[in-house]
Every structure is written in C-alpha cells, then in structure tokens.
Structure 1
Amino acid sequence: MERTEILEVELLDRLKKETFNLISIPSHRDCHRINEYIQSRLPFIKFEKQYVGKKDLYNIYSISEDKPVLINTHVDTVPPITMKNPFQPVERNGRIYGRGANDTKGLIAALIVALQDFHRDYPDREIPISVAFTVDEEQNSALGSERLIELMSPIKSVLVLEPTYGRLCTAQMGAVEFSFTVKTPSAHGSEFEKFSNPVKEAFSIISRIENRLNRPVNIIKVRSGWDYYAVPDRANFLCEVKAYEGESVDSLVGKIKRELFSSGLDVEFKLEDAEAFQRFKKGEMLEALKKAYREGTGREAEEGIMPSWTDASNFHRAGFECVVFGFGSLADCHTDRESIALKELELTYKTIYRFLSILTQP
C-alpha cells in the first residue's frame, strides 16, 4: 500500500472514531457533555461560554477581531424518536448510523479533524477562523444563534455547517407553519355516517389549501379521537407550507385562513411560525469556499437553496454574509435511518481543510 493510501485510511479511521464519539454523547436535552468533549478535542482554541437563558444551555465560542470569518454549527439533536440504540453508532456498508450522525455530528467531526490537522501542519500559524458551537437549533426558539449575534461584531461572514448534499447554499426556503382545529358534534360510533368526522373535514380543507396555493401541505402532527367508541368532536392539525422567493408570507397566511374559514365549519386557526424566503448576501467567503471545494473534491461547487430553516436565518437577518454547507442527506435526518457516509465525512473534511489554508494566504 502506497503512502497516500495509508494516509487516506488513517484519515477515514480518525473521522469515523470522531463521529462515533460525538454520536455516543446524547445532546437532545443537555449539551454540557458534548460542549466539554469538543473543547477537549480542540485544546489549542480558547473557548468561552455564553449562556442562552434556557435550561442551563450555553454556546461555546472563540471569536477574534482579526478572524472575521466564523464557522458555526449546532450541537443539539432531535430526540431518538423511533431510532433504536440511537447513541450506539454502527457502521454498515460505509455509512455511520446514529442520532445526529448527519445533523450535525458528522460535520462537527470533519471540522474537528480539519482544525487538528491544520494546527499540526502549520504550527506557526493562527487558526484563521472564529468558531462557535451553538445550542437550541432544533427548537422553535433557536436561542443559541440568536444570542450569539450579540458577540459577533468582529464577524463579516458565517459558514453554517448543515447537510446540503454538498451544495453551497446561498439561499434558504421560507415557510409558514400553522395549526388549526376543526370541531364537530360527537356521536356514538355506530351512527358515524350521520355525522361529520372532523378528521375527514380537516383533510378536505387541506386539499383546498393545496389547490389554492398550488403546492403540497406538510402535515406534521395530527391529534384526534379517543379510546372509546365514538365519533371524535375535534381534530387538531399542525401543518406547514413552503414560501417561495418573492412571495409575501402575509399573503400566504391570508389564503390559508380564507380556505379554513370558508368551510362553514367551526374552525380555530393559529399561526405558529412564518419566515419569508431568504437570499443570502454573497461576498469573499463564497469565492474562497468555491476554490476550497474545487481543490478539496476535484469538482466544481454548485450553489443551492437550503430547504429547511437553519441558524443562517438569524445571521442573515443581522446582516452577515452566509453560506450553508455540508455533505450528507438532509432527507434522512430526524429519522431512524439517519446516517452519514465515510466518503461524505472525507469530502467535508477536505473542503474545510482547504478553506482554512486559503484563508491564511495573502
């Protein structure tokens, strides 16, 4: 085996071990242990804590006046949900499975190893970036990135690590999240055909919303019915629709409400969250990332649109240049098949390592 092949195997082993270690630390409630672990792996970076005011959660960060580019990702994950043995990572067919494997512990592993190798290869150079690991991203409050902005006056650009299939996402899809309740008279189950069923009525309303907006409705949660034999008296749905570029969120909400309240049924509506499509500011960081991608992977980078909310939204609104990036499948995240390929870890590592090298050049 040639020297380059040996180095490649060693790199994959290190990336695998780092990802295994990170997955093994649950961080869907308390992020203290994973923050401590990250600090122990990067002793050459002086981290500080920033409490966000929720359940003793805190960010760890290292932000410097002379390092205007920030790499950020979140350390919290969704709960196990239906995943079995979520914190006992396994490798199958070149993929590492476990909660957070792709969102975003594999990407954290790639960042840690890239920073370690840059520090080893260039001991006389400063790490050329600011770095922050934030909490609370998987909650609607997203307090980690919201609070971090208070400390980001030296920062001009932010690279947010999230699974994007390897695309450099310079925009983020908008969304309207809403809940509604349909109420109807209850009845004995044997007389169901004589009464309206609120679940069926709700689905009918959703179909009309889809026709009016010309797009599908994502049904996130449904609550209805009892354990006894009766037609339920209400159905509650939590839903979401995407907001495309140039669309008014207020206009979308208005169209949704018109379909709900024109049904003639007893309906309650609540707007849970809404955010317009965002086109991020582009600058020097994007060009450096494209070069790093080309040199690290051997192919040209593609720009894309992040279909999900990320912390980049808060950074964008605060005026920073943003790019969301990371290899891996977003569709598999939050599911019992969440995983990341060793090749995806390697490509993320190589892009980040080259990015660090480029930032040190004149």
Structure 2
Amino acid sequence: MGTDKIKDIFENIDQEEVVVLTEKLIEIESHKESVQRESAVAYYIQSFFRSHDIEAWTEEIYPNRPNIYAKVGKSDKSYKRIILNGHIDTVPAYTMENAFQPKRKENDLYGRGAVDMKGAIAAMMVAMVTLKRYYPNLAGEVIFAGVIDEEERAEGARHIADSGNLTADIAIIGEPTELKIMPAHKGMEWTEVAFHGKSSHGSTPNAGINAVYHASEFIRIMQENLLPELERREHPVLGKPTLNLGKIIGGSDPNVVPDKCFLQFDRRWLPGESTESMIEEFNNLVRIQKKTNPSIEVSVRRMSETTGYHPPLDTPFDHWGVKALEKGVRTLFGRDPEVVMFPGWSDGAQLANGGIPSVVCGPGRLEDAHSGKEKINMNELYQAAVLYTYFALDITGRGKNESGK
C-alpha cells in the first residue's frame, strides 16, 4: 500500500467522529440489569449503518437480545473475507458513578463500556463507514459482527460458530490490548464442589456433620495434589494453567452446625485440556478424600449456567493475519508491534472453534475494564479505526491463496 493511500486513511477518519460515536454507545445501556438488554444498542448500530447506506441486519439469539451484522465490499469468493468482531453488552455500573453519562477528561473518555468494549465497536463502525465512503471497490468483503452475551455465556459468538451462517478467513476481536496483537489466550471454566452434612445446634457439634470441615479438608487435598500437577504443565505461549478458589458459601449462623458448603473455582485451561478432564481432576480429589472419610457426601458440577463454554484461543503467532496486523502497526504508527498472549478471555475462542482464525487487538487497557473509573484514551480510539481500515484494505485485496505476509 503506497504512502499516499496510507495518508488518505489518516485524513479520511475523523477522531471526533469516533469519540462521539463511542459516547452515544455508552449512553445506551446494554447489560444484564437493563430491561432492553442488548436490543437498544443493536438497533442503534443497525440504524447507524443504514444511514450510511451499509447493509445491516439483526439476528435474535434470545428474546430481546439480537446480534447485529453489517457488511461492505464484494462477496467474491476468490478474495479474502474478514470479520470485525466486538461484544455489544457490558457489565452493569456497579461502583461507577454516572456510568452511562460519558465524560471527557484530558485525553481520556470515561463511561461504562468505554474500553470494554464500545470504544472498539465505534472504531470498527467508523472503519466500515470509511471503507464505504472512500473505498467502494473492495475486492473482498468486510463483515461487522456485534454479538451479545460475552460478559456471561458468550452465546452470541457461539451462535456464529455453531450455525456457520458467517464465515471468514480471519476475525479481529476488539478487546482492549492497547493495540498489541494477541493471538492466544487460555480457556475459562467455573466448577462447583458441594458438600452435604447434617445440621445441629452449635452447642452439640458432635450431633451434626460439619460440611464446612469437609470442604476445608478438600481444599487442603487440592493444594497438595492438584496445584502441583498444574504447575508441571506448560504451554509454549500460554504458560501454565491456573486454579483459583474464588467463593465459599456455607453456614447460616455461628450457633448452627452447617449442613451445606459450596466451593466455587475459576480454572484457566490450555489447549489439550477439556471440560471433561477438568471435572475428572476434581472427582479424583474426592476419591482421595473418601479414602479417609468414605461416608462424606460431595458432588462436582460445571457451572455452565453461568459461564457456558469458554475454550482457549490458540492462533499461531506466525499466522498470516497476525503478520498483516504487525505490518499495519509498523507502517501506520512507526513502532515495532508487540505480539503476546491475551491475559483475559475473548469471543475469538468461540469463532476459532467454529473454523474462523481469530486475533485479539483493540484500543485501551484491560485493567480499566469493569472498574469504577473505566476509561479509554481517545487518540488510541482513533488509531484503532485507522488500523482496522488499513487491515481491511490490505487483506480484502488479496486472493484466497495469498499468504498475506
């Protein structure tokens, strides 16, 4: 791509347009506590695209919860197709004051969803409009996919993967990476271990069976057996799997022997592991515990009602899509691109599971997401729109068999 064309991209994108659009998206609540869920923001995005003569449509995944899609370019199967993906849901306000009233302060824009991830959504929308306005002769196709439910069960992206209704050669996921390129991350799984005892008055503890005691014994067995085993496993990119005991529920009052106790774990897992193998690891701990206490009542289950299925993402670092993003960062911003693992989880894993190679690359810092002071750097928003536009122009002009390096 020539110097003049690169200069045109910078000139054809207005930073203020990206920021104003982000502000509008922040104002439209789209979290689990809002009556409209994701529908209001999805229909706003659809209206925005149609006002710019871009084909856009929705697909209801659950009642009042639609995915929103748009496309520009030509459906020529001899050229590459890309997906620009982001989730249109956010977490609720929680401790953030005036969370849905966006505020500019110095170089940052504050508001719930600013960084996770309505900022990236806005940058992708502006990239789509830029392509439609100034580059109408794209040989390939660019699809925008705004999906529901990433903050919970990731059913929006999973639907795309399972249905096969959208296909592409590469997907860019706009989770916050400070525009670093992140082709891989661990999977996420939540597991609950439930202990059942017998209640009695606290003054007669021997008349009951203390479920909390059984749970504490299980924790010790877990620390002595499973944690060392996880330390011995390592992926060349993703490192070691992790296990965190994040929540303990047990007991009703100090003067009552607790008859129930629940341990809830967060497990970050690697390619080669599976939900079945992780459940079996917990069951093995139960077997160890029952050797000394065979009468213990305990059950293990996946918390799939909360998390659904969250596999790992493992796109090779030398994939042509990664190399094309590296080229874009180097060409546009004059810096060496960083290619590292993503510390969180993304819908890219669902898309990759459905046969669409995916890479995480978006504006903002992950540590600002979900926080009481969620924010995004406004210049980085602009840079994201420029990078997505450059990447689309670069990739869609390539034939299906071109490596893209």
TM-score bracket for the superposition, by shorter chain length: 0.7 to 0.9
Cα shift readout 1:173-194 (whole Å, capped 9, x = no counterpart): 1233201122344354567799
The 8 Å contact of residues 102 and 339 in structure 1, kept in 2 or not, is answered as yes
Alignment gaps of 5+ in structure 1: none
Superposed displacement of residue 355, structure 1: 1.5
Q: 2:42 aligns with which of 27, 35, 41?
A: 35
Q: 1:88 and 2:101 equivalent?
A: yes
* Higher deviation after alignment, 218-227 or 187-196: 187-196
SS in 1 for 2:126: helix
The 8 Å contact of residues 246 and 277 in structure 1, kept in 2 or not, is answered as no
The 8 Å contact of residues 168 and 324 in structure 1, kept in 2 or not, is answered as yes
Superposed displacement of residue 153, structure 1: 5.5
The 8 Å contact of residues 279 and 301 in structure 2, kept in 1 or not, is answered as no
Number of the residue aligned with 2:300: 269
Give the 5 Å matches for 1:337-348. Answer: 337-348=373-384
Q: 1:99 and 2:99 equivalent?
A: no
Cα shift readout 1:203-251 (whole Å, capped 9, x = no counterpart): 5533542442336533444433336853433222321122234445544
SS in 1 for 2:55: coil
Q: 1:294 and 2:306 equivalent?
A: no
Number of the residue aligned with 2:75: 65
**RMSD between superposed Cα atoms in Å:** 3.3
The 8 Å contact of residues 180 and 362 in structure 2, kept in 1 or not, is answered as yes
Structure 1 length normalisation: TM-score? 0.83
Q: 1:171 aligns with which of 177, 184, 192?
A: 184
Number of the residue aligned with 1:236: 262
Superposed displacement of residue 259, structure 1: 2.2
Superposed displacement of residue 38, structure 1: 1.5
The 8 Å contact of residues 248 and 262 in structure 2, kept in 1 or not, is answered as yes
Counterpart Cα distance in 2 of 1:190 and 1:14? 68
Superposed displacement of residue 319, structure 1: 1.6
Number of the residue aligned with 1:315: 351
Counterpart Cα distance in 2 of 1:33 and 1:197? 49
Superposed displacement of residue 34, structure 1: 0.7
Number of the residue aligned with 2:227: 213
Tell me the amino acid that sits aligned with residue 342 of structure 1: M
Q: 1:16 and 2:24 equivalent?
A: no
Superposed displacement of residue 270, structure 1: 0.7
Number of the residue aligned with 2:156: 144
* Higher deviation after alignment, 218-227 or 94-103: 218-227
Number of the residue aligned with 1:280: 315
Q: 1:132 aligns with which of 145, 169, 192?
A: 145
The 8 Å contact of residues 77 and 138 in structure 1, kept in 2 or not, is answered as yes
Number of the residue aligned with 2:87: 74
Number of the residue aligned with 2:361: 325
Number of the residue aligned with 2:339: 303
Tell me the amino acid that sits aligned with residue 295 of structure 1: T
Structure 2 length normalisation: TM-score? 0.75
SS in 1 for 2:28: coil
Cα shift readout 1:265-292 (whole Å, capped 9, x = no counterpart): 4322112356554422664333322211
Counterpart Cα distance in 2 of 1:122 and 1:161? 22
The 8 Å contact of residues 206 and 217 in structure 1, kept in 2 or not, is answered as no
Counterpart Cα distance in 2 of 1:339 and 1:173? 25
* Higher deviation after alignment, 165-174 or 143-152: 143-152
Count of residues in correspondence between the two structures = 354
Number of the residue aligned with 2:58: 49
Q: 1:336 aligns with which of 372, 381, 384?
A: 372
Q: CA 1:233–1:277 in 2, change beyond 3 Å: closer, same or farther?
A: same
Q: CA 1:112–1:172 in 2, change beyond 3 Å: closer, same or farther?
A: same
Counterpart Cα distance in 1 of 2:160 and 2:384? 24
Superposed displacement of residue 120, structure 1: 3.9
Alignment gaps of 5+ in structure 2: 1-6, 231-241, 399-405
Counterpart Cα distance in 2 of 1:92 and 1:207? 48
The 8 Å contact of residues 103 and 162 in structure 1, kept in 2 or not, is answered as yes
Tell me the amino acid that sits aligned with residue 317 of structure 1: N
Number of the residue aligned with 2:401: none
